[in-house]
């Protein structure tokens, strides 16, 4: 039963990520960031810390923060992406 719960949570994260992309395309940075942050929270709790889905969510969060001109947050999320890349290469 816990497995189904995880599947449902990951499906919700997938939907949130897709919403984030839609809001990003519309240049609605606040809504995009909110959707990506919620997707990231779920993925952080359900996936290994080096999972590609988590990396992608961090990447788009960084991208949105950059366009929103919150450079400190953009750098923080770009660093998370780089950390995942480095771990995957080891």
Residue 81: CATH number of its domain: 1.25.40.10
pLDDT above 90 (res 66): yes
Question: Residue 84 has which token pair?
Answer: 């995942």
Q: What are the pLDDT digits (tens) for 40-58? A: 999 999 999 999 999 999 9
Question: Regarding predicted confidence, which is higher, 90 or 41?
Answer: 41
- Mean pLDDT confidence for 29-49: 97
pLDDT given for residue 2 in this prediction: 52
**Total structural domains in the chain?**
1
Note whether 62 and 81 are within 8 A (CB).
yes
Measure the N-to-C terminal CA separation of the chain; round to a whole number of Å. 34
Instruction: Give the structural domain span for 34.
Output: 2-89
């Amino acid at each position: 039963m816990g497995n189904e719960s995880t599947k449902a949570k990951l499906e919700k994260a997938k939907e949130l990520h897709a919403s984030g992309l839609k809001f990003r395309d519309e240049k609605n940075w606040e809504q995009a960031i909110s959707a990506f942050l919620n997707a990231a929270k779920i993925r952080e709790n359900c996936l290994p810390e080096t999972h590609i889905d988590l990396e992608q969510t961090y990447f788009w969060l960084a991208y949105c923060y950059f366009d929103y001109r919150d450079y400190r947050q953009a750098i923080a999320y770009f660093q998370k992406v780089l950390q995942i890349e480095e771990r995957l290469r080891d």
